[in-house]
A and B are shown apart, each in its own frame.
Chain A
Amino acid sequence: MSGFGKYMLKRLLNMLFSLFVLITLLFFMFRLIPGDPLSMYIDVDISIEAKEMLMKQFGLDKPLFEQYIAYMKNLAQGNFGLSFQYNKPALEIVGDRFWSTCILMVTSLGIAFFIGIIAGTVLAWMRGTRFEVSSITAVLFIRCAPVFWIGMIFVMVFAFKLQWFPLGGMNTPGTHFEHTWQKYFNTDFLYHLFLPAITCGINMAATPLLVMRASMLEVIKEDFIELATARGLSKARVMFKHAMRNALLPVATLFAVEAGLAVGGVVLIETVFRWPGMGREIVLAIGARDYPVAQTAFVLIGAMVILFNLLADMIYAYLDPRVTYN
């Protein structure tokens, strides 16, 4: 196996271990809650036998450690347990939401890094101008504003007042889909995606932008930039082909951290825009004390963060020819 493959495998194993610790932690956290989790869903008048049957069905009658072993075994087989609320496999409920969240996150991160990299480059180029100062101020304001608040303002202005975009949701209600995938491949979906993705994207763009700008300012002092100018390249070519390319490295390391933070942003944005994703599902499930669903959503979100981390590693390896993995 190549050095890179080995490195990635090691990273993957490390992250899977993290995920395992996380799942364990979460399992015990949920079982430590005082009161039995079923009480909310069971009729007070239910017979003791019926209640015991239900407890058995959810495996809640066994000692905690046995429950844990059983849970992990099931998990390894892809069985995440039953939702208390719907009495359906938790994975089925959450799985539906996985792609909605995934698409929202990828789009938001894409917007964030696109804006961050381009604007960071341009601002570094315009260093010392009045435009730069006011832009940086605006960026800091957006960075420090709560993302859900920006979302609320956008909903009010662009959806309610101007009616350019829908108030929320992922598809126009009443639309019928033959197949799950159809939900994502139509213009109506993009129309619904735009506002939440932009909100999340511009809020997250600040950090890559500032890092990109600082990195650009470092890179343009380098000798190879001076030589690129001396070679007779156009300003744009020097900036965008040579300076930007090298300034990207610190931004790429940021990708993993930002993806971790983006998860938080997505939970809030999904709530504001009623986006049927895992973040919103977690909030609803916790509210309804439907722990299997909350747990499942959490595990999937954790897995998603891991995927983004690996992606970040790959991007970095692609960008920096100097990286070796031996």
Chain B
Amino acid sequence: MTNSAILQIDHLKMHFKTQAGYVRSVDDVSLSLPHNTNLGLVGESGCGKTTLMKALLKILPPTCHHRGGSITFDGTDITDYSYKQMQAIRWNKISMISQSAMNALDPAYRIGEQIVETIRIHRRSVNKKAAWDHAAAYFEMVGINPDRLKDYPHQFSGGMKQRAVIAMAMVLEPDIIIADEPTTALDVVIQAQILERLKLLQEKYRGSMIIVTHDISVVAQTCSLVAVMYGGKLMEVGPVNQVLKSPNHPYAMGLKNAFPSLLGEKKSLISIPGSPPDLIHPPTGCRFVERCPFETDKCRVQVPEMQPVDSSWTACHRLSEAEALRQEAEDENIWLKKETA
């Protein structure tokens, strides 16, 4: 993990306080994002992806407590930044295309007004006229007629709202754009369009992007790095080519099986049986132990540390046997056996 990273997360713990105890949504997560890089963050829903992303912007509800670790942005530790200090980071340095772009725009104001508001909050010297023009330019880039800036959100279709939010996320050209499931609410054709446009735009002005998704094909299309998250922890981080083609962590192997092959080979899909761990009382050892077909006694008691192999990092006690396990994992039965056992 290099020092030139724009974003560095170290052993971050973000836990939700509930009556039943702390929900360990993000538990000891370390990750580093280099400049001008697209990172895909994948995992099942509820694994803590969104919590991790919101932690970067500090927009989690007060019930979510920071219980250790740090976030470093561009060399500065922002973990304990106040609301006021965060204002300078938010959107200006890190912006977000949220999971539900459908409701991400305030229904009471024109879309243009909201974009202009965002611009003028961060760039005080820009006058209204210039801000409108700037917004119009970005609307054109995402393929919406700039006249529609005068519309209210309810006058937009789902795909248009999504594109409007993308325009808004890019309007200040931040160092990092977080795209949290940017396409789940849209139909397949528009999904592809939007991803393509997102990628083009991002390349044009050279920022970094984190795409949060549970769809591996999205990652394959747009990212160069991928992080696999499970039960509040990262399981494997590395270059897309390596992690998706020859995953080292059993969970990543399972995920790979769960999606159609990128090269178009016909194979029966294997999904990972079982359900995600209880994050209030997580397993003592590896989080994935309950569903892992390769678990050992050690996996039950000891938390595996992240270790480097080639250019990726993996948290698995049987990392040295990865090659063999990959072979085994291709067999559907090994996953099913685990469940019946």
Interface residue ranges, A against B (CB under 8 Å): 222-224, 226-235, 237, 242, 245-246, 319-322
Contacts and interface: CB of A to CB of B under 8 A. Distances in A.
A229 B106 CA distance: 12
Contact of B57 (A230, A242, A245): A230
Contacts of A321: 107-108, 152, 154
B121 interface: yes
A231 B107 contact: no
Interface of B: 54, 57, 59, 83-84, 86-92, 95-96, 98-100, 102-109, 117-118, 121-122, 152, 154, 165, 168
23 contacts: A223-B100, A223-B104, A224-B104, A224-B105, A226-B98, A227-B165, A228-B106, A229-B59, A230-B98, A231-B90, A231-B91, A232-B87, A232-B90, A232-B91, A232-B121, A233-B121, A242-B108, A245-B106, A245-B109, A320-B108, A321-B107, A321-B154, A322-B107
Contact of B103 (A223, A232, A234): A223
A234 B106 CA distance: 16
Contacts of A319: 108
Given A229-B57, A237-B121, A322-B152, 11 more contacts: A223-B99, A224-B103, A224-B107, A227-B165, A232-B89, A232-B122, A233-B117, A233-B118, A245-B109, A319-B108, A322-B154
A19 to B, nearest CB: 34
Contacts of B87: 232-234
A242 B106 contact: yes
A228 B84 CA distance: 14
Contact of A230 (B91, B117, B154): B91
B98 A227 contact: yes
A228 to B, nearest CB: 7
A226 B90 contact: no
A233 B122 CA distance: 9
Given A223-B103, A224-B103, A321-B152, A232 B108 contact: no
Interface centre among A222, A224, A233, A320 (most CB of B within 10 A): A224
Contact of B106 (A224, A230, A322): A224
A242 B117 CA distance: 12
A226 B168 CA distance: 15
A246 B154 CA distance: 14
A232 B123 CA distance: 12
Given A223-B98, A322-B152, A322-B154, A231 B106 contact: no
A224 B165 CA distance: 11
A257 to B, nearest CB: 23
Given A231-B118, A232-B92, A232-B121, A226 B107 contact: no
Contacts of B105: 224, 227
A125 to B, nearest CB: 12
Contacts of B100: 223
A315 B118 CA distance: 27
Contact of B107 (A230, A234, A246): A246
Nearest to A233: B121
Nearest to A220: B61
Nearest to B56: A230
Contacts of A246: 106-108
Nearest to A223: B103
Contacts of B117: 231, 233
A231 B113 CA distance: 13
Contact of B95 (A223, A230, A233): A230
A21 B182 CA distance: 57
Contacts of A320: 108
A222 B88 CA distance: 23
Given A222-B103, A223-B98, A321-B152, A231 B121 contact: yes
Contacts of A222: 103
A233 B107 CA distance: 17
Contacts of B102: 223
A233 B95 CA distance: 12
Given A227-B96, A321-B154, A232 B107 contact: no
